[in-house]
Structure 1
Amino acid sequence: MIFLFSKFLSAENEKIPLHANPNLPKLWHKREFDECDGINTIIVNKTCQCMPGFPFGDPNSTQGCYKCNDQCNKFAICAFPGRCVCKNGYIGDGVKECIVPVPRLDSSNTSYIFTRGGQNTTILTIPYKNFHPDKAYCKFDDQIVKAHTVTNTTIICSSPPIHEGIIKVFASYDNVTWTDENAFAECSYDGIKVSFSFISILIVIGIIIVLIYIYEKHIKPKKIKTPLPSILETNGMDVVPFSEK
């Protein structure tokens, strides 16, 4: 009898995997004697699930399930193996702070734009560690434009229609906090002056063409030529011009 009981226990132990979680025996009534690949997981109704108390992770992955002992910031997530990490677009410790940083400008490069707008304005930035911005904004004086291209080192915006002059351009990752005046890209433009010069040249050429046309068609034909007199005086004698019959 003792031999049979020992054999039964041995058979049951063989069903328990060597890497089984020590808490699993408490859940035997809910699970099968097969464990998922990851830690802190169980199989319920032939489906891998996270054990109670381990709400984060993927029970079907080799990492399994985990928990964060700290209360993560509202802009953070609980990441493997159990630490709070700020979400994409934020920096901080994941617990006390997760903030959107202010762009750090790498240079004050000048972009040349036109008053009509639509030209790319590029702002070079110094990247933050473990920060990958997914959006950014440019402010042309007081006009705000959302960037169409954002990387760790570049913000590119399309310039809006704006007045002539030197335009200060600021950058932001959240449309709230902006770069200060000591570090910004200056945008100057002279497109409208080029247009005025070109138009002025066309007007001058047009006036010259019109004057030439008027002279050739109206003034030149009306010049009076000296007619040959019908009676010529030669040596005091009247001479009648020869006429063909």
Structure 2
Amino acid sequence: MKWDLPTLLEPVGGRKRFHQPLARYSSFRIGGSADALVLVEDIENLKTLQAIALAHDIPLFILGGGSNLLIRDGGIRGIVVAMRGTFRTCRVVPCADEPESGCQRAEVHAGAGCSLSRLAMQLAQQSWSGLEFAYGIPGTLGGAMIMNAGTHLGDLSQVVIAAQVLLASGRVETIPSQDLGLRYRGSSYPAASIVVGATLRVQQGNRDTIESAMRESNERRQRTQPLWLPNAGSIFKNPPGTAAAFD
């Protein structure tokens, strides 16, 4: 390792682990070690970490939920970041753009470290509809925003209002959905930027109906994917106009 990471990372708060095996952080349960794994708790420490990495030309890898990832036996050089703390918070703001009486919609402000599936369940329990498709998708909201995650029921592009992004300059910018380049399993974010959160739109629904749709989607997943083994869920991209696999 050509960097003295224990010394360089002293200004960064949060838990730091050096020569950390990454298999436990991957849904495939394979992979070598990271030179450094930093569990970042808030945006200020992430800014500090980003600045150090850029100043010393150290690769910075955002781990997410580790569910769409193959880690080589040789591990990952540089700094691997896992978002914790405030990046795992979620806040629902009802009636963000309409009078409170007769409110049927809400904005969801969630950190990039939130579990996408848990977020869908949390909203369902409050009778908010829109993320039924996301239930059962492994991984975090941040990773899902990068790949525009989805299922046969829909994808994030249908509910995203904006993304909060940490730019290479150290400034956090809110980018509206129409400027994110969201497409089938892809997006276009500024170079060297990090997704730190997102704003989503949901609407009031019937809890039983929402949870029924989620159960149906999860049952389909159980029929078609080896969930009893280390896996990454569906790893196929559909060709234009058809599907890569069928029930």
TM exceeds 0.5?
no
TM range (shorter): under 0.3
**Normalised TM-score (structure 1):** 0.20
Which structure shows the bigger proportion of residues in helix conformation? 2
**Normalised TM-score (structure 2):** 0.20
